[in-house]
Structure 1
């Protein structure tokens, strides 16, 4: 009897494989980490082989925990970090390490695209701004700096597409990843000839676009040996981690949004109109008839990890145990500090910033330090500053027409009750925690159920399976206090914008070796 669904997520730091029953109950989790290379300033690369080996280890861990899991499995789908530039040759071999979403080396190429087509035209065509987060500028960088590799490129795959290719030998591309490339005509779904020409690309280098729940192939005998899966197991197209997280959180209709905090923070706001805004990101949802307006901050959990690794004291190190993660370790210290962090405001731009600033040159700032500032105040300032960055995205989305009545919080950051309460108080809306469902792999598993014909639609399955465990209601007095501090946060960010750019010129940020 086949009664198990496998959801896989390939994130920025780790791959996770999670087994679920048909009614959404979690059965087993496997996880494996991999490194991130930063060979020069603004560069962020990963080895596709590292992804594959981590996925293999994670799948084997999950299968081992459940009797006869491989034989009971209906199929699998993969969600992943996005977007990624990964060129493959005719034999399916990567030609270079992948440029992941964090990579900002192509800022000069963004300006070239704007000069060639106009920023307004690019936004009108693609529904998104010209920025090196999207792949168009990275493709142009690839054309200009590694033309010898572009000449050998047979196809480009995204992270989930590469893992699916290793599993099945079939190339695939989902609609959300296609939108994040910044090459697609949003109105027609066809690749823009002008943008392709500017990047030296052929549309044949991209796989056909298929819905996230579509069966693209079966696990091969070779992949079965590597993973422990049964040969012939169905593999669905999958999607990005954001759409999968929206399913996990139950963010499937306007008014209920999701925020996913791990290394970064991603805000996901469903809407039926296909709202676009040049300060945000717009993609199709995996739920038919719905779209997602996305806000994305670069460093949230990463800011806490930076603090632990760089400024963590001996007391912090002594309190560390294998069963406690960075969120537990640091946020419990921040609980003794009153809202406002003793006058310290944190700008969380440790690796530049995405929406709504879109400023590679932005840098992290602690404002308001005195000789009396305790370490715990810095930690709380990080929690508050990242929450202010979330509010900046929410306000931008609301101004564009998106609705928000309740925010669902998922990811590693949702483990901190203090952080969730700060977000509720900063935003002035309830922050709800869905019952633990295994993260983005839960959303990927729902795509398997839909593709296998086991459920009529995603919305009904989400309504039946997503349960709210806890709700953090906003405190009116703290919201008013935070609103005053938020106004200061916004002013600091705006006033420092020119200084960030000037500092980049003074200290040098040219990414090319």
Structure 2
């Protein structure tokens, strides 16, 4: 019997993985390509959509070659991509400017006006609608010529099928939830976007077929014409499904370029969270996000282990883990902050990284170790916020993403949080597995997501070590005091944005 496969594209902030998965849910092969992040000014973050599309095509061709399969063995294709990209396209299909990605925070002035006009807090200059206002006000010719403004998932589907449709997690104009739709209507009116609604795509569900691979896309991607392409979603719901934590009140943590804690809820009123996303027509996600997760760790490795990275390439991370293994909990009273690109409230976008309490006894191992601990401290802050809001105490939590590959980091996280950390098999492929399950529902081979939790196998378990609780309690409290102590200084040196 000829094997059939799902081709899943898991697009992160700085790289894409094309992952080939068989009908038994086994990852057969993958290919990865990186792309650049353009930061012209502090707080700005852009990418060239055409560069990202070329990365999609490259990984598609490579994964088929590596797996030694025929393109007609692929019977479904699906994308997961970061949300809140702004990609204006004209009537002739031309990209009019670089995409303003989710990290971009240039629209602080627009956000302040929007919050006042709406009568409630919509967001900072990084939020989606203020950035739309920025483009409309500062680039009126581009805005006028834009026939459609796409998100990244929508852009990839359009390039693949020629059809234009967004999906629930990346649609900020339409909602199946009347309460959320009411808020959207107020925000759209306050933002002055009422007359621009036709610029934004219609929505199809993540499991719906959007279209089929065109002749041109097939040539560029090394595929065959006619493969069904499904709606897919943003990386948040993709990874949520991939963890198996996709039922009400289930919680997980993700360690990727960015990082987050997510709780699945029925209504946004159920829990107070810094952000929310739409999971599907039934559920929402409470989002406790870090702008810089493994991005900060990668930066630290590049700065402090640059020579080794030049020689070892991707294997440098195993080298670093072994090198810092002897550093004690608390990094000998050294505290770092991971806020390289600023952070969301209750922190601030103009806050940047610091190393606090460095002495001559510290070396590069301590610095990297402290960066890793700082990400754990922020997750502890969010976990405590979640537990207080939810009125319950977690005893274990699933953790996925590239950072979850590190035993040292996962043990550190367990020690800082003082709860059990569970890491499923293949934590790097969680987003791809989430899209796989979505496509299988779309094809009719799986009824829904409810059975996913039990199919996800836990590979490693880390229990908190009581001997490290005291030092982490001490340093965590100091960590919480750093931003309030430095807030005015950040304003003085970086301005307010």
> Aligned pair count?
492
Q: What is the TM-score of this pair, normalised by structure 1?
A: 0.90
Offset at residue 396 of structure 1 (A)? 2.1
The answer (yes or no) to whether the contact 1:276–1:282 under 8 Å persists in 2 is: no
Matched, 1:148 2:137: no
Q: CA deviation at 1:317?
A: 4.9
Q: CA deviation at 1:477?
A: 2.9
Paired residue secondary structure (1:24) = coil
**Aligned to 2:229, what secondary structure does the other structure show?**
strand
The answer to which of 136-145 and 37-46 deviates more is 37-46
Q: 2:426 aligns with which of 436, 450, 455?
A: 436
Deviation at 1:220, TM superposition (A): 0.7
**Cα distance change on mapping 1:185 and 1:84 into 2, 3 Å:** farther
Structure 1 residue 365: Cα displacement: 1.2
Alpha-carbon distance between aligned partners in 1 of 2:447 and 2:371, rounded to the nearest angstrom: 43
TM-score (norm 2): 0.93
Structure 1 residues 354, 365: closer, same or farther in 2, change over 3 A? Answer: same
1:282 aligns with 2:282: no
Partner of 1:241: 235
Confirm whether residue 294 of structure 1 aligns to residue 287 of structure 2: yes
User: Paired residue for 2:126?
Assistant: 133
For structure 1, the residue ranges without an aligned partner over 5 or more in a row are 121-128
Query: Residue by residue, what CA displacement relative to the aligned partner does 1:436-491 show, whole Å, maximum 9, x if unpaired?
Result: 1623111111111001111111121x135311101111122323431221111111
3-state SS, counterpart of residue 342 of structure 1:
coil
Aligned match of 1:354 = 344
> What pairs up with 1:35-434 in 2 under 5 angstroms?
35-120=36-121, 129-179=122-172, 187=179, 189=181, 191-192=184-185, 195-196=188-189, 198-200=191-193, 202-254=196-248, 256-275=250-269, 280-286=274-280, 289-312=282-305, 316-317=308-309, 320-325=311-316, 327-357=317-347, 359-401=348-390, 404-434=394-424
Q: Does structure 1 conserve the Cα–Cα contact (< 8 Å) formed by 2:34 and 2:55?
A: yes
CA RMSD across the alignment: 2.3
Query: Any idea what the Cα deviations from partners look like across 1:171-222, whole Å, max 9, x if unmatched?
Result: 111111114x799986153751652562445211111112111101011111
Report how far residue 249 of structure 1 moved: 1.4
- Equivalence for 1:25: 26
**Which is further off, 160-169 or 474-483?**
474-483
Residue number in structure 2 paired with 1:14: 15
Compared with structure 1, are the counterparts of its residues 482 and 83 closer, same or farther at alpha carbon in structure 2 (3 Å cutoff)? Answer: same
Could you report, residue by residue, the CA deviation over 1:52-80 in whole angstroms, capped at 9, with x for unpaired residues?
11001111111123344421222111000
Are the structure 2 counterparts of residues 470 and 275 from structure 1 closer, same or farther at C-alpha, using a change threshold of 3 Å?
A: farther
Instruction: Note if contact 2:272-2:389 (Cα within 8 Å) is conserved in structure 1.
Output: no
